[in-house]
Chains A and B, each alone.
Chain A
Amino acid sequence: MANWAGNLIGLARKESGLTQRDLARRAGTSQAAIAAYEAGKRSPTLDTLARIVRAAGKDLRIRLEAADDHDEWLARYEASLSAEVVQEWRRRDSELVEQARRER
């Protein structure tokens, strides 16, 4: 849950084509507060989060799902890999991104 709320605010803002200052004005807060939320330096309450994303034209909806440990398992799996393997994996991923961008 590293910066779930901040990521949601950033996503809502960008999808609505707003600057941090625009969103802050609409939500009745400061640009500095929006920036701090998006950077994960501050965490809004649920009410504040709902109010901010509403100001960006979005509704916050929350649902319960069955717990899923897949990402935690993958994190353990990746942690079991040697540093060399991980380094090579990341290097190849970077190359693949570059190749795709060249092909565009």
Chain B
Amino acid sequence: MCRSGADAIASLLNRLAGSDEPGCIEGFRLSSDELTPIAFERIVAVLNDHKVKYVVIGGLAALLQGVSLPRTADIDVTPASDPANKKRLAAALRTLDARLRVPGLDEPIEIQLDERTFTGMMTMTFVTRFGPFDVCFVPDGTSGYDDLIRHVQVLDRAGVKIPVASLEDITRSKRAAGREKDAAHLTVLTEYLRAASEED
């Protein structure tokens, strides 16, 4: 539903390289701490602690609403794109020890995380203490946070509030993305929504 922006990432790296920011590229191996990482609730809790405005999208959002999609290990969110929220998001990413994953590189890199990190970026993929974490400001087929928040579902899982995009919005975005893997997901989503509407 969200694509990595290779060009945008390259632009960001160039920007960091040309500035005084400590955007160092370091060697990377998964540490043992990072092998406990499929802990999306921990990521969500950090976002909530920092009062980030966001909506969980993608396979995890569908799963949390009862649709068993074969999801990947990452959590995808669409944050609000106002400057204050980007500042809060950057702070949350620092708390999560987030490093940037760059298309074409196996090893994430350390970058300066502040609100400027997101300038001109549509999609960024990170690796955090609690697993892969993707930020997509404008998922395919949507106009971003303000669009998705209209039909958001706020779930409570183990005391953590999780705002998730509606199944209809997830379906809309996957349809627009048109990736080959989305055809299978769309079949599952379509059948689930149809069954749910028949129950209602």
Contacts and interface: CB of A to CB of B under 8 A. Distances in A.
A89 B104 contact: no
Interface residues of B, number: 40
Contacts of B71: 93
A100 B65 contact: yes
A74 B132 contact: yes
B186 interface: yes
4 closest A-B pairs (Cβ-Cβ)?
A100-B66, A7-B183, A89-B38, A4-B180
Interface in B65-119: 65-68, 71-74, 101, 103-104, 106
A82 B132 contact: no
Nearest to A74: B72
Given A10-B183, A77-B132, A81-B73, 17 more contacts: A4-B183, A7-B180, A7-B183, A7-B187, A8-B183, A11-B184, A61-B178, A63-B178, A68-B103, A69-B104, A71-B72, A77-B30, A77-B73, A77-B127, A80-B30, A85-B36, A93-B63
Interface of B: 3-4, 6-7, 30, 35-38, 63-68, 71-74, 101, 103-104, 106, 125, 127, 132, 134, 155, 157, 178, 180-181, 183-184, 186-187, 190-191, 196, 199
Contact of A74 (B3, B74, B184, B191): B74
Contact of A66 (B3, B37, B178, B191): B3
A13 to B, nearest CB: 9
Interface residues of A, number: 40
Contacts of B73: 74, 77-78, 81, 89
Given A4-B180, A76-B106, A96 B63 contact: yes
